[in-house]
Structure 1
Amino acid sequence: MPKLDLTLNTELPEETVSQVVTGLTELTQTLLNKQPDVTRIHVHQNQSLCYVNAAQVTGPSAFNLAIYITEGTNTEEQKAQWLQATYQLLNDVLGEGAPQLPNYISIHELDARDWGYNGLSQFARNR
């Protein structure tokens, strides 16, 4: 049951957003063994200003991606593969220029008792 939050400093065409969301869902299923039917992705576009070294980023897309997963459900190798493949996907889709920016991807592991969906914790769902 992953939740992903992608923040972009630019506005993307709908077909590009669809490509990103499809790619993230597939990578998350393939590399982290997460079920697509409970994978939720929020895309925040042009929500805030982005600065690097105190200068506003106005050119290529800068991104920040956070994924929330249940603690202990993935190996270090799986997470490393997901980080690398996800960066490559976003870099490929967002185009030239993105590699020069510090773009961040983070994995947040939460205790199964501390999060869930539709009123049940992951701990309760797995019992």
Structure 2
Amino acid sequence: MPILTLKLSDNARIQNTQTLAQGLTQLSADVLHKRADVTSVVFQRIAANDWWVGGEASDQVLMQLDMRITQGTNTEAEKAAFIAQAFDLLLRHFVDGQQLHATSYISVQELPASDWGYGGLTQQQRRELVQTL
């Protein structure tokens, strides 16, 4: 049940946000073996005067993709592959000519199974229920 949050400076022009969301969902399924049917993708726009790098505003596109997954469900190699492929995927979805700022980040954040969940149950509780069936 990964959650991907893509923060973009408001000058970013995406060709098709639905196609990008579907691509990120598919990438999480293919590379990190996550279930697409419970993967959430959220886009957030940040005003240029609210995003600073080194104390300065930038005309370039600023981007930050954060993905939350359950701790211990992926290897370092899988997470590295996801980060590289997600960066490439994002580049392909920007309108031609837009440049990403060098400080565009992608992170995969691991949370303990007891610290998050969905449907009112933590991931740990969901695992325990499956084990008792």
| Fold shared, TM-score > 0.5 on shorter chain | yes
Shift of the 38–47 alpha-carbon distance from structure 1 to 2, 3 Å rule, reads farther
Q: Tell me, in whole angstroms, the C-alpha distance in 1 between the residues paired with 2:70 and 2:9.
A: 28
Kept after mapping to 2: 8 A contact 1:7/1:47: no
Q: Which residue of 2 aligns with 1:104?
A: 105
1:97 Cα offset (Å) = 1.1
> Where in structure 2 are the equivalents of 1:78-89 lying within 5 Å?
78-89=78-89
1:65 Cα offset (Å) = 0.7
Who wins on radius of gyration, i.e. which is larger? Answer: 2
Which stretches in structure 2 are left out of the alignment for 5+ residues? 129-133
Kept after mapping to 1: 8 A contact 2:8/2:46: yes
Kept after mapping to 1: 8 A contact 2:7/2:65: yes
> SS of the residue aligned with 2:44?
strand
Which stretches in structure 1 are left out of the alignment for 5+ residues? none
Work out the number of aligned pairs and report it: 125
Shift of the 52–13 alpha-carbon distance from structure 1 to 2, 3 Å rule, reads closer
Q: Which residue of 1 aligns with 2:120?
A: 119
Q: Scaled by the length of structure 2, what TM-score is found?
A: 0.84
Aligned residue identity for 2:42: H
User: After superposition, what is the alpha-carbon deviation per residue over 1:22-69, rounded to whole angstroms, capped at 9, x for unaligned?
Assistant: 1100100000000011101110023562222322123x3211011000
Q: Tell me, in whole angstroms, the C-alpha distance in 1 between the residues paired with 2:84 and 2:104.
A: 12
Q: Scaled by the length of structure 1, what TM-score is found?
A: 0.88
Q: Percent identity?
A: 33
User: After superposition, what is the alpha-carbon deviation per residue over 1:65-84, rounded to whole angstroms, capped at 9, x for unaligned?
Assistant: 11000000001111110000
User: After superposition, what is the alpha-carbon deviation per residue over 1:60-117, rounded to whole angstroms, capped at 9, x for unaligned?
Assistant: 321101100000000111111000000111122124411x431001111011011101
- Please, what is the CA RMSD of the aligned residues? 1.9
Q: Tell me, in whole angstroms, the C-alpha distance in 2 between the residues paired with 1:82 and 1:63.
A: 16
> SS of the residue aligned with 1:23?
helix
